[in-house]
């Protein structure tokens, strides 16, 4: 108890930063100039946790809800603001991506029995089969391959998304040559676009019980919204040129993602053959 009391006394000391012990210049200084930590550092209690929840998650002018709201209503403006350095109210894109991925996984676990991608993959396969006039491969091989890919992606959704992110950024970097964004900046833009995808996935998972085959519409909606977002991002350029480049980037990304998925299939087939 004495140790905790001492900690409480130390945290109430407004003369020094609790993190780096640098002297603080008066009560009006809210952040340490050396390490950036808020001063004074308050003891963790229910009031502190409620304050953190409000300002990190529920606050409508900063934090997660604010970033999601802006990303869905004014996506291009949010991306431009982040790229130009106006980031104080924004959640970091990779953190937002992982939070949204976790939310989709939780929804899929409780509403779809953990099968997040099965319905979408099956719908895509059925559409391709109808357009192609029937099966072009051994049904048993298709079924086994489908099951392996579905199970792997369902179990590693966040990892699969993060592995595909560099492919998406490279595709857009190639499609938008001459627009002034470097590859790391395209990684940021791609992360925001991927969060949009997870938002649409969450909505689809939530309403699938009442809207059959809704997951088949995710890809077209994602394409349309990505084009809209990039047109808004490059608002001073030709809308038609931006739309064409955005579609080209999306097509290149889908092809690269398909090749990457085929590589995963090959690895899974080899691994299953070695067992």
Does the residue 144 lie in any domain?
A: yes
Question: Cα–Cα distances in Å, from 192 out to 62, 75, 94?
Answer: 16, 8, 8
| Paired tokens of 113 | 């029995």
H-run or E-run covering 175: helix 157-175
CB atoms inside a 10 Å sphere around CB 247: 15
**What's the structural domain count of the chain?**
1
Question: Cα–Cα distances in Å, from 115 out to 121, 153, 156, 158, 201?
Answer: 11, 9, 12, 14, 12
Does the residue 63 lie in any domain?
A: no
Does the residue 155 lie in any domain?
A: yes
Does the residue 193 lie in any domain?
A: yes
Largest CA distance in the chain: 77
pLDDT on residue 31: 76
Does the residue 27 lie in any domain?
A: no
Q: What is the DSSP letter of 91?
A: P
List, for residues 99-151, the tens digit of each pLDDT value.
898 888 888 888 877 666 655 555 444 444 444 444 445 555 556 666 677 77
Q: Which residue has the tokens 């996506």?
A: 75
| Paired tokens of 185 | 């900046």
Does the residue 208 lie in any domain?
A: yes
Q: What is the residue-level pLDDT of the chain in tens, covering all 275 positions? A: 444 444 444 444 557 777 777 777 766 677 777 776 777 766 666 765 565 555 555 554 467 888 898 999 999 999 999 999 888 778 888 888 988 988 888 888 888 776 666 555 554 444 444 444 444 455 555 566 666 777 777 777 888 888 899 999 999 999 999 999 999 999 999 999 999 999 998 998 888 878 877 777 888 999 999 999 999 999 999 999 999 999 999 999 999 988 888 787 777 667 766 55
Q: Are 217 and 195 contacting, i.e. CB atoms less than 8 angstroms apart?
A: no
**What is this structure's pTM?**
0.74
Integer Cα distance of 164 and 263 in angstroms: 12
Integer Cα distance of 149 and 177 in angstroms: 33
pLDDT on residue 51: 59
pLDDT on residue 124: 45
pLDDT on residue 54: 56
Question: Cα–Cα distances in Å, from 151 out to 54, 105, 161, 188, 263?
Answer: 37, 13, 15, 28, 15
Assign 20 to helix, strand or coil. coil
Q: Which domain holds residue 154?
A: 93-274
């Amino acid at each position: 108890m004495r140790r905790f009391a001492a900690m409480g006394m130390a945290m109430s000391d407004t003369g020094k930063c609790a993190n780096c012990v640098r002297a603080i210049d008066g009560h009006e200084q809210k952040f340490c100039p050396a390490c950036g930590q808020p001063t004074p550092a308050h003891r963790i209690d229910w009031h502190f946790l409620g304050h953190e929840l409000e300002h990190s998650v529920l606050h409508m002018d900063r934090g997660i809800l604010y970033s999601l709201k802006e990303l869905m209503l004014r996506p291009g403006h949010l991306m431009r603001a982040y790229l130009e350095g106006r980031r104080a109210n924004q959640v970091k894109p990779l953190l937002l991506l992982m939070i949204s991925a976790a939310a989709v996984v939780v929804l899929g676990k409780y509403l779809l029995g953990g099968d997040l991608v099965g319905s979408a993959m099956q719908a895509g396969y059925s559409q391709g089969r109808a357009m192609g006039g029937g099966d072009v491969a051994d049904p048993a091989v298709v079924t086994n391959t489908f099951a392996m890919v579905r199970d792997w992606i369902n179990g590693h959704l966040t990892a699969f998304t993060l592995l595909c992110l560099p492919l998406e950024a490279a595709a857009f970097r190639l499609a938008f040559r001459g627009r002034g964004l470097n590859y790391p900046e395209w990684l940021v833009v791609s992360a925001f676009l991927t969060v949009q995808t997870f938002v649409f996935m969450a909505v689809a998972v939530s309403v699938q019980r009442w809207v059959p085959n809704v997951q088949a519409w995710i890809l077209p909606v994602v394409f349309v919204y990505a084009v809209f977002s990039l047109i808004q991002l490059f608002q001073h350029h030709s809308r038609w040129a931006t739309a064409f480049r955005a579609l080209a980037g999306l097509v290149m990304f889908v092809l690269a993602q398909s090749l990457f998925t085929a590589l995963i299939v090959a690895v899974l087939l080899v691994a299953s053959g070695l067992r």
